[in-house]
Structure 1
């Protein structure tokens, strides 16, 4: 059954994947609320950055596309309850096997990522 919220969230996540893969900071920035924090665990090393710090890192690295990688990112699942949602994503890139959990909220009738946690799994 068609669900407008699930379609809007899938489009947001597609934009998120494209932004990461292409290194398109403006496209990626549009996916996040300005107060988002990103926490990760990369091979037992903690990663904690504001969305601006995260975007600066994306801006200053080679993109997966520039490194001739194939886009293999995918949505594993989305759970929507009212104006909030959680998505589990598989984001393999740059030699890492990342899994992201993104929290989303519908703010001013627009879905946005308000939190991101991620880890690398061997």
Structure 2
């Protein structure tokens, strides 16, 4: 499997975590030291992987519409832009990934809420 395919598999695991309200899949997709950062309803949010896992687990399982807009892999780092509709909100996520011990994981998620 190519690095791009491996990176996109991690992104798909992230989307599955939201669809299934699975804290465990969040933990599988995100590095333990990752941050999730952005503005939601006018408030600046900064969450750890565990905070985000708990947030996702607290939601009802739901359909998530998503599109991977771009994937760029440079050695052991990658950047993915994804647009996803989750909880009735359309997000544009910029995901930074790192490859450690031959395993890709999301190290940083910056999100922007798009106006409907």
TM bucket normalised to smaller: over 0.9
2:15 aligned residue: 17
What are the Cα deviations for residues 13-62 of structure 1, in whole angstroms up to 9, with x where unaligned?
11111111111211121001101111011233211111111111111122
Quote the Cα distance in structure 2 between the aligned partners of 1:117 and 1:80: 18
1:120 aligns with 2:113: yes
Q: Residues 80-119 of structure 1 correspond to what in structure 2 (within 5 A)?
A: 80-119=73-112
Q: Residues 64-75 of structure 1 correspond to what in structure 2 (within 5 A)?
A: 64=62, 69=63, 71-75=64-68
Higher strand share: 2
Larger gyration radius, structure 1 or structure 2: 1
- The answer to whether the 8 Å contact 2:36/2:108 transfers is yes
2:24 aligned residue: 26
Give how far 1:79 is off.
0.9
Quote the Cα distance in structure 1 between the aligned partners of 2:65 and 2:51: 25
Quote the Cα distance in structure 2 between the aligned partners of 1:44 and 1:55: 22
2:2 aligned residue: 4
Instruction: Specify every segment of 5 or more residues in structure 2 that has no aligned partner in the other structure, as ranges.
Output: none
Instruction: Specify every segment of 5 or more residues in structure 1 that has no aligned partner in the other structure, as ranges.
Output: none
TM-score normalised to structure 2 length: 0.92
Taking only aligned residues, the RMSD between alpha carbons, in angstroms, comes to 1.3
Quote the Cα distance in structure 1 between the aligned partners of 2:11 and 2:65: 13
TM-score normalised to structure 1 length: 0.88
